[in-house]
Amino acid sequence: MPEQAVAVAGAVIGGILLFVLIGMTAYLLWKKFCCLLSYEKLTSSVKTTNANAFFQDQTNPEMQLKSTRSRSVPFIIPPTLHGRDWINLTNEEQVQEDSDPYMIPQSGPRSSFHSLAGAYVVGTINPELYKFPEDKSETDFPDGNIGRLWFSIEYEQESERLLVSLIKVRKLQPPADSCSPFVKIYLLPDERSYLQSKTKRKTLNPQFDENFVFQVSSKMLLQRTLKFLVYHVDKHKKHHLLGQVIFPLKNEVLTDDNKLVIWRDLEKENLEPPSEYGDIQFSLSYNDYLGRLTVVVLRARGLKLQEESHAVGVYVKVSLMNHNKFIKSKKTAAVLGTPNPVYNETFSFKADQTELDTASLSLSVLQSIKGEKTLLLGRVVVGPFMYTRGKELEHWNEMISKPKELVKRWHALCHSM
């Protein structure tokens, strides 16, 4: 009896082990079969080919690209990555033709591209998306434009020379049908001396390509401003000013190996005589979404300096007021030794839209002399009807009516506090 029991137990254990082995074998075969089905489904929507067909067969009509879009660069998955769970492809992209210039070289050392046998395309890169943006500076002119001027500047540190290249002017608007333009170039604050280009006959788009040199020390360079005046010579030899460009150098990085090519739109010069205490030009803008009031202090002219010397600095103080109470002030850098300083500095103040009926801006032009008291040269206030009238009120109201736009105007300075 004991021997029979042992035999029965051995038979049961053997049967169980056999059943487990058969089950494991069936599971492994089923898993392999599922992987093959998944692989076939993945590649069914893309045409595959072997190495010879991929690189050499040029007779198969299915190899021709059906897409009418621009020539593109294929994105290829190598065979070693075919087992990855890639997203199903439905765009019917075709493999690249053998004649394309970026295929395998026919001779030379073996490269990694020879391992692309059985590879398939999963997408393409469109070269049109990576082109440099087109330069529209010669085609896009805003309404009311009176011309555009191109120039370049470079500074030689060793010889302390400022090199200015006058390149061209486009879209001039002369008073007559014909135009014979030339350009005068000043290095402010010196307005007595200038350099002049040649006159170009009968053209609205003169090409100058002329070089000019100003001698200026590196210490004074950033205090200087370039001024271009574009004139037209009529048949009676009279000169008519068509426009100007003012370009301060204080914000530029000028070195021997840094040649800046710049264009600026021409502006009409204010031909009115300066007021008693001088004038100031600035722009206003209000962003109602951000609640931000922006002031761009551009320039002043005809200032009555108490003492004219290179030691005299003139700056502008911009103050935000509310109900005539001081809120915040900011000031420009001082410009030395000129009654016609150029600033081009931008300041921003936080101001809620509900405060615009009670807020105002005060711009004070101040003169400072080393070791002496600061003197007020003139002041102007812009704001709502509560504080201002005339041009100052018009400027404020235009700023509110044109949100996010810079509104530029000249204002006469007064000497009252």
Determine, yes or no, domain membership for 172: yes
Q: Round to whole Å and give the CA distance between 331 and 366.
A: 10
pLDDT exceeds cutoff 90 at 319: yes
pLDDT at residue 51, as a whole number:
44
**Whether the predicted pLDDT of 124 surpasses 80:** no
Q: Are 287 and 242 part of one and the same domain?
A: no
Residues 309 and 207 in one domain: no
**Is there a domain that residue 80 lies in?**
no
> Residues with Cβ < 8 Å from 233, sequence gap 6 or more?
180, 181, 182, 199, 239, 240
Are residue 306 and residue 403 in the same domain, yes or no? Answer: yes
Please name the residue that has the structure tokens 């395309």.
121
- The answer, yes or no, to whether residue 33 has pLDDT greater than 80, is no
Output the pLDDT for position 309: 58
152 vs 130, more confident = 152
**Poorest-confidence range of 68-77, 105-114, 135-144, 284-293?**
105-114
Same domain, yes or no: 289 and 199: no
**Per-residue pLDDT averaged across 361-375, rounded?**
84
Q: Which CATH number covers residue 335?
A: 2.60.40.150
Give a yes or no: residue 34 inside a domain: no
Residue 243 lies in a domain: yes
Residue 27 predicted with pLDDT over 90 = no
Residue 394 lies in a domain: yes
Last residue of a domain, one of 214, 236, 266: 266
- Give the model's confidence band at 78: pLDDT under 50 very low, under 70 low, under 90 confident, else very high: low
DSSP per-residue codes, 253-275 = --BTTB-EEEEEE-B----SPP-
Q: Are residues 256 and 317 in the same domain?
A: no
Q: What is the pLDDT of residues 146-198, one digit of tens each?
A: 889 999 999 888 888 999 999 999 988 887 777 889 999 999 888 888 999 99
The answer to whether residue 322 is domain-embedded is yes
Q: Is residue 336 part of a domain?
A: yes
Q: Which two tokens stand for residue 162?
A: 């400022």
- Give the pLDDT confidence score for residue 231 in this predicted structure: 92
Distance CA 48, CA 32 (A): 22
Average pLDDT, the chain: 78
Give pLDDT tens digits for 57-76. 444 444 444 444 445 566 66
Question: 373-385: per-residue pLDDT in tens?
Answer: 788 999 999 999 9
247 & 288 share domain: no
pLDDT of residue 171: 86
What confidence score (pLDDT) does residue 81 get? 62
Mean pLDDT, residues 319-344: 89
Q: What residues pair up with 181 in beta bridges, in sequence order?
A: 232
pLDDT reading at 104 higher than 60: no
Question: Over the stretch 222-262, which tens digit does the pLDDT of each residue have?
Answer: 888 899 999 998 888 888 888 899 888 887 777 766 788 88
Question: Does residue 295 share a domain with residue 386?
Answer: yes
What pLDDT is attached to residue 58? Answer: 46
pLDDT at res. 281: 92
Say yes or no: 396 and 295 in one domain.
yes
Among 266, 299, 316, the domain boundary falls at 266
Is 303's pLDDT higher than 80?
Answer: yes
- One domain for residues 357 and 296: yes
Per-residue confidence (pLDDT) for residue 399, from 0 to 100: 93
Least confident of 31-40, 167-176, 275-284, 337-346: 31-40
Residue 178 lies in a domain: yes
Last residue of a domain, which of 208, 234, 266? 266
Give 318 or 106, the one with higher predicted confidence.
318
By mean pLDDT, which of 30-44, 50-64, 173-187, 274-288 is the weakest?
Answer: 50-64
Q: Are residues 352 and 226 in the same domain?
A: no
CA–CA distances in Å: residue 58 to residues 94, 96, 250, 320: 13, 11, 64, 76
Number of domains in the chain: 2
Note whether 254 and 283 are same-domain residues. no
Residues 239 and 357 in one domain: no
Structural contact between residues 98 and 127, judged by C-beta atoms closer than 8 angstroms: no
* Burial (CB count within 10 angstroms: exposed 0-12, middle 13-18, buried 19+), residue 342: buried
In terms of residue numbers, what domain contains 384?
278-413
> Model-level pTM?
0.52
